[in-house]
Structure 1
């Protein structure tokens, strides 16, 4: 065979190996072709080296692609080779991709290769996962080597800065572009929406819509605008965006747009419009159903949420972890233990027990159903995949079932494993210490939260500490703790102190605290009842009667309790 025919055959083999489909080359096939190229000395050709690097990368072997790019092949590498390797390394190994670009392609008098728009676009994808300084270096390189008229590169820079939260730089690059595509507008629009700058996003969408046919609106534009409407609770603007969607023909055939519309209507409280929209569309995926089910839960329509979950399954849509989590939340609120058990079986069958949200919801469901052993079984099975949410749910379950000791033991295990507790975890642990009388441990955990983990206490943490001191009869320490608080005590903290006054029989402090509470929340009947009980404890029944008369005159009434009974799968209040 002639040299030209060998070259053509090699190129054809490499191109065929990269072709998607059932005949696509395996990693072993890629290695065989690599060996063949080495034997025939064809790697000296830049095209063959580029194709081999791309072949390894497409087969999911970026390390092998890098080895193919070893030092003795660098003489054959051209810009296409670098672009192929950097683009394949950008996601799995962004640091390596940027290093390769910086060492070989940054402008320098000693380097023959100069970066072009293709390789800069490739390295921008890697910079999206790196600190902002890397993107700024590439931006400086682009300013020297790429014209502002290159829409693709500068759109990538707009997106890069927006993803890093630097909307000022993103806007500046956008304003400097002499020509912009719909992708350029979308990059800035998405950036505003994701960074919580909803009003700026809506202003940008209005400017984009004013471009008319010059820059046509697409699914990304509509979805981002609707996301901004949701964040800003601008339902009227959202209705206008809905009208634009109908006008450009994106209604009913773009699932992402439909989902954004449903999300906007449900979160803005327009349940009727969301229901009409859901019934009118034919393109529904699992996200569509999840949005509707979550909307039902937010409106406390738990039975409807469970019904929608059943309809989704019957429609042949496979639930995901969000679907199971929301359905389990609804079953907890309805006290539908049987439904929760059936959902647990489906979770195990579909393999979603490793999902943090699903495991947490299962633990909560069994705990609220009074089946603490089942909750612990779920926790033990999924322990290796659990997040702090699941650990907190199990600690809370133990605490709510009066098992303060096991709750504290589990918390100690969490600390031993090096898992960082959050505010809610500490709230459950401090509550366990309070109800179990572990005062010293309570002091230690509060200090651990504030001094070691640097978590600013919430009101519930302060009230737990005051309640703990009050239950232990340490009323003076409770009062001193409140005096040393860095924030003004609210009703929950003062309420805990008033309960401590009742427990310790301190009438004078009780009267003082109660008067403060009457000013903060005059309609809370519990405070009046506590003060009346303190008076009664000291035999001062006339004063107790006066407090109750005062409570009635202010129409402060205690909320009535409500029980939920399930009879033949029907919940009755």
Structure 2
């Protein structure tokens, strides 16, 4: 047990003060802190508030337990020392309780009165790890001592309630505050954003007389958080137009928006802007750039950027690169990056292994996937979570190992969710395992009677097997029993900064007449080249063969590709984003389109990327 001996009888000498106080700042290890502490005791400087406070701050960064023992041995600590300990404990979620213990000692036993910093740190502790009841008690105490209208205390209160998603309480504090500054407005916007209340956040943002980079960054990040990527980029453009300079945090959010929209041109501009503005590259920013290029179909550019930069001491850029190779169907490259990561002594996390397992799943690398699943536990002590089990079920199911996949689900230490059973049901669809598919469909139905995806997959299984009556009965039963509807297939393409979206059979586009005429000509050319429609992909009981072909020809990705061929120069790559998995017929047709029209076509569907060129796809027809 560590014991601290202090003395207040021996006065300190000024020479000791000027020699030892600078020594505190030079300490680089816990051992040096202890040695300096010993000298402060022997020279009586431990009783001096400046030296004691400096040592306490340094010790708190190295060891909170040591700092707290040091605090307990300081005779008559002043307010600064109390605040140092309240703050130190407030920053650690595991030590927030001690922060409030010190705060209560200050208010009850010290004979001192807490100041605004005392409350700011105490509210921070409550927001970081304590409950609502403790926070409300500190709030009441702030009212009693008359500091509740201090702007620093107001801001801390807004932030505390915001962290608990008690946005109405944050709003009350904000509205009743006598004094507010820019930080108050930003904190209130952050509270709305954290609760997903973007309409209120925008309303408050629009009412601000003054905005800084934090204001813009918070609203942009909020729209990204709720999936409104177009709105996020619109605010980013407005920010640039008024001359406000984005920081790394702003740019990360803008790049995430570009990634999800496949807005490659805008993503490239942001990348160039980072260089022109000489914004310091960090791991988060590098990861966002790599992810943007990967999700926009430019996996080579993603790899080049990853290799160019050296700021890779943290896991995020590595995860982005491994995930990029995984979604592009390059499992060997993903594994190589992981091996480089190990060589660089960067510790993987659970996201790393999700990316690795996905790479193995899309690359038909069953044994490698099993190996990494075991290594995750044995070498890195990362307990598999439901996402990892989902990857393994998908890996086994795609490889046709349906029984092994089902056994893994049965042996999971956590209860399987609908998504995991759905992955196996999809494998049953691929391998036409009717009996297993029906049984698993019943399990999903029992878990979630209104699960649309389950009914669609089962209907698809029946349809591909020609069992139209069962498929039709399932659809009709689903329409009666559920108010929810199947998400329609939607494909989008960016052209000159404008996004064009198409639904199945869509005729709302201004160029619809030209698009459908082009589709008719395209179908003739594809058939001449050997294309045969995969009529089994239809989910509807259509008896006329010509009607079946017509139904397939108006799938959303075909409309988007036709639009792209019509409106871009020969040789220009076409990039399509689809919200659902690409169907077998569209996959086959796109291979022929790439050959007949001599175009590179990049399609990002719900699960991965497909690079079509010269009649072949990068997925090798395994998706």
TM class, shorter-chain normalised? 0.7 to 0.9
The alpha-carbon deviation at position 295 of structure 1 amounts to 2.5
Q: Which moved more, 1:552-561 or 1:222-231?
A: 552-561
Q: Does residue 360 of the first structure (1) align with residue 293 of the second (2)?
A: no
Equivalent position to 2:66, from 125, 134, 139: 134
Question: Structure 2 CA distance, aligned partners of 1:431 and 1:564?
Answer: 25
Matches of 1:409 and 1:431 in 2, distance apart?
A: 15
Q: Deviations over 1:408-432 (max 9, x none)?
A: 2222322333222222221121122
Matched, 1:334 2:261: yes
Q: Which of the numbers 16, 20, 26 marks the counterpart of 1:78?
A: 16
How is 1:150-299 mapped onto 2 (pairs within 5 angstroms)? 150-164=78-92, 165-168=95-98, 169-174=101-106, 175-182=108-115, 183-212=117-146, 215=147, 217-245=149-177, 247=178, 249=179, 251=180, 254-299=181-226
Map residues 7-86 of structure 1 onto 2, 5 A cutoff.
77-86=15-24
Aligned-partner Cα distance in 1 for 2:44–2:195: 58
SS in 2 for 1:262: helix
- Quote the offset at 1:129 in angstroms: 0.3
Are positions 1:440 and 2:367 aligned together?
A: yes
CA 1:544 to 1:267, structure 2 compared with 1: closer, same or farther past 3 Å? closer
The DSSP-based 3-state class of the residue aligned with 1:564 is: strand
Distance across 1 between alignment mates of 2:381 and 2:120: 39
Q: Tell me if structure 1 keeps the 8 A contact 2:291–2:324.
A: yes
- What residue in structure 2 maps to residue 102 of structure 1? 37
CA contact (8 A) 2:123 2:160 kept: no
Q: CA deviation at 1:225?
A: 0.6
- Name the structure 2 match of 1:499: 426
Q: Deviations over 1:387-409 (max 9, x none)?
A: 32222222222222222222222
Aligned residue for 2:275, secondary structure, equals helix
TM-superposed CA distance for 1:538, in Å, is 6.5
The equivalent position to 2:355 in structure 1, one of 411, 428, 440, is: 428
- Please report how far the alpha carbon of residue 172 of structure 1 lies from its aligned counterpart in structure 2 after TM superposition: 4.0
Shift of 1:300: 4.0
Whether 1:570 and 2:498 are equivalent positions in the alignment is: yes
Structure ranking higher on relative contact order (CA contacts 8 Å, 6+ apart): 2
* Structure 1, 458-467 or 170-179: larger mean CA deviation: 170-179
Greater CA drift, 194-203 or 370-379: 194-203
Matched with 1:480 is 407
Matching residue within 309, 312, 316 for 1:385: 312
Q: Deviation at 1:291?
A: 1.2
Deviation at 1:543, TM superposition (A): 4.2
In 2: Cα distance, 1:156 partner to 1:353 partner: 31
Determine if the alignment matches structure 1 residue 551 to structure 2 residue 478.
Answer: yes
* Equivalent runs, 1:102-121 vs 2, <5 Å: 102-106=37-41, 115-121=47-53
| Per-residue deviation, 1:437 | 1.4
* 1:124 maps onto 2:56 in alignment: yes
Q: Which runs of 5 or more structure 2 residues have no equivalent in the other structure?
A: 1-11, 502-623
From the superposition, tell whether residues 413 and 227 of structure 1 become closer, same or farther in structure 2 (CA, over 3 Å).
Answer: same
**Closer/same/farther in 2, CA of residues 114 and 525 from structure 1, 3 Å limit:** closer
TM-score, scaled relative to structure 2: 0.71
Q: SS where residue 563 of structure 1 aligns?
A: strand
Inter-CA distance 487–276: structure 2 relative to 1 (3 Å threshold): closer
Q: Residues of 1 paired with 2:498 and 2:81: CA distance?
A: 61
- Assess, with a 3 A threshold, how the Cα gap between structure 1 residues 281 and 506 changes in structure 2: closer, same or farther: closer
Report if aligned partners of 2:418, 2:444 keep a CA contact under 8 Å in 1.
yes
- Per the alignment, residue 335 of structure 2 pairs with 408
Unaligned runs of 5+ in 1: 1-73
User: Is the alpha carbon distance of 1:166 and 1:76 closer, same or farther for their aligned partners in structure 2, counting shifts above 3 Å?
Assistant: same
* 2:45–2:52 contact (8 Å) kept in structure 1: no
**Pairwise CA distance, 1:383:** 4.5
Residue 513 of structure 1, aligned match among 434, 440, 453: 440
For the Cα contact (< 8 Å) 2:68–2:85, is it kept in 1? no
**Cα distance, 1:384–1:272 mapped onto 2, change above 3 Å:** closer
Structure 1's 529 and 288: CA in aligned 2 closer, same or farther, altered over 3 A? closer
Provide the C-alpha distance between the structure 2 equivalents of 1:277 and 1:543, rounded to a whole number of angstroms.
54
- Alpha carbons 1:128, 1:163 under 8 Å: kept: no
Using the TM superposition, give the Cα deviation of residue 515 of structure 1 relative to its aligned residue in structure 2, in angstroms. Answer: 0.8
Decide whether aligned partners of structure 1 residues 381 and 209 sit closer, same or farther in structure 2, where only a CA change above 3 A counts: same
| 1:466 counterpart = 2:386 | no
Larger radius of gyration: 1
State whether residues 192 and 198 of structure 1, in contact with CA within 8 Å, keep that contact through their aligned partners in structure 2: yes
Structure 1: how far apart are the matches of 2:66 and 2:212?
38
TM-score by length of 1: 0.76
Is 1:317 matched with 2:244? yes
The structure whose residues are more often helix, as a share, is 1
Q: Secondary structure at the residue paired with 1:572?
A: strand
Shift of 1:456: 2.2
Distance 2:150 2:432 in 1: 70
**What is the alpha-carbon distance in structure 2 between the residues aligned to residue 113 and residue 532 of structure 1?**
80
Cα distance in 1, alignment partners of residues 334 and 244 from structure 2? 39
Contact (CA 8 Å) 1:265, 1:271: kept in 2 or not?
Answer: yes
Q: Is the 8 A contact 1:331 1:337 kept in 2?
A: yes
**1:434–1:471: 8 Å Cα contact kept in structure 2?**
yes
Per-residue CA deviations over 1:151-197 (Å, capped at 9, x if unaligned) read 23333333333345242432442332322131333332222223354
